[in-house]
Amino acid sequence: MPTQPQRFAVYRSHPALILNLGSCLAVLAIVAIVSYLLARERDSVELSALRSSNNIVQLIESDILRNVELYDQSLQGLIWAVGRKELAQVPGPLRQRLLFNEAFVNRKRGDVLWLDKQGNVVGDSTSSVPRQANFGDTGVFLAHQRNANLGLLVGPPFKARLGDLDWCISFSRRISGPHGEFAGLAAGALRLSYFSELFQRLDIGDDSSINLINTDGQLLARQPSRARDPLIGSNYAGRPNFKRILSEQRGSFTARSGSDHRLRMYTFARVPQLPLIVLVVHSADEVFQSWRRTAILVSVATGVLCVGILWLTLLLGRELSRRHEAEQGLATLAATDSLTGLANRRRLDQVLRQEWARAQRNRKPLAVLMVDVDHFKAFNQRHGHAGGDHALREVAKAIEACIRRPADLAARYGGEEFQVVLPETELAGALLLAERIRASVEALAPFAEDTDAITVSIGIGLSGTRHDLTSVLGAADEALYRAKAKGRNRVEGPAV
């Protein structure tokens, strides 16, 4: 695992990579934050729509309960009046008022009838002279006739037989005789158009609707009413959404419509103690239309921003890479000898200090070769500075070609002198490499008309018992002088 300084060095050597990584993380953070805010805003829009729908359901539910209560009070008042023995002696107008309380009966909503045990109309809230009709064959009449304990019964939607009431629902109670026998019916009809007019006053959107359904699945009222919508009396009992509504009684959910298969939001409630269900259906497209426009605008703006950030990062990364390459080039130039291409004296001093510290820390040997070109001054006088420079370059190439380990370093020490630093190298290895360098230089082709080959003398300094770097370098220098004194073109190890 790389250490902290190593990781820092990697970061410094790849500034564009770090910049690009940071930019990508910033873009991901921006996208994540914007996505979270848009999702939260969508939830807020959905919650607001559900809250609004629930308020509408409660409002309609309260209105239905109030109307049912008025009808029930009117029916109970009619049953009470019918049971009075003195009713037959009451004059006509007063008898009409006694049977049908105008405070409860509103002709705009519907009418109330008193039916005898055969189903004939004997009392009519619309006139003191009852309209003639018989309801003995209706399901509501027969149900009360068979069962004395039904109480208030809400009937299915029907087309009125009397007047112009159109579609209605009925509210009815049984009239019992002195001994509990069936004596007739008190029945009221409520126009379903009343609910349509009530729903019209509530603006819920063009593609949404308010519905009143009974527990048998029959549609009683719907607003707005469009040509493609189901007619009053249509049955939804087999639809999965209605089954869910019927089982849950009250609540909200989102599902696909059974009619057009579009996603819709359903908010519903069953009217307490009545077989009626109020249902508000919102189109999901309509509810989220405004949010969708905002989401598209914000997404486009965020996308442009992120692309801009990445593009600017790319440009900046390129500039940083160019700058880094230029710095690396300058650093290389600063550490390279311009004539020979080897490391210069500055670089040599740095590596010597580093390798000496490492050798001392790891208790490993360090060998230093001092290489000097033989008779270089005389060579320079014969061939001039250009010839001398060429010879130095060839010697440098030969030295560099002999070095195979990455940690070894060949450097120009000054003038015609070179140094080779060999970390973790014993005397035998240093002698072997020094001899290889000497032989490689000697094997160079003679320069111009010279018949003598270029040769080098090499002295070896070894850390061994040396206590500091200066003494190692001094030992190498001494060995070099011994090699020159013994005839040059030879290798000398450290003095014993």
Q: Which residue has the tokens 């996505």?
A: 35
Count CA atoms closer than 13 A to 197's CA, side-chain side: 7
One-character DSSP codes across 196-259 = HHHHHTS---TT-EEEEEETTSBEEEEES--TTSPPTT-B-TT-HHHHHHHHH-EEEEEEE-TT
Comparing CA positions, the residue from 274, 205, 225 lying closest to residue 60 is 274
User: Angle at CA 339, nearest 5°, toward 334 and 340?
Assistant: 95
Say whether 181 is catalytic.
no
Q: Are 282 and 49 in contact (CB under 8 A)?
A: yes
Residue 444: is it exposed, middle or buried by C-beta count within 10 angstroms (0-12/13-18/19+)?
middle
- Cα gap 140→135, rounded to integer Å: 9
One-character DSSP codes across 156-167 = PPEE-SSTT--E
Catalytic residue among 46, 355, 416, 492: 416
Cβ neighbours around 16 below 10 Å, total = 18
- Strands 456-462 and 491-492 come out as parallel
Residue 358, token pair as written in the block: 């490492």
CB burial of 458-486 (b: ≥16 within 10 Å; e: otherwise) equals: bbbbbbeebeebeebbebbbbbbebbbee
Radius of gyration, CA atoms only, the chain: 54
- Cα gap 97→453, rounded to integer Å: 145
Residues labelled as active-site residues = 416
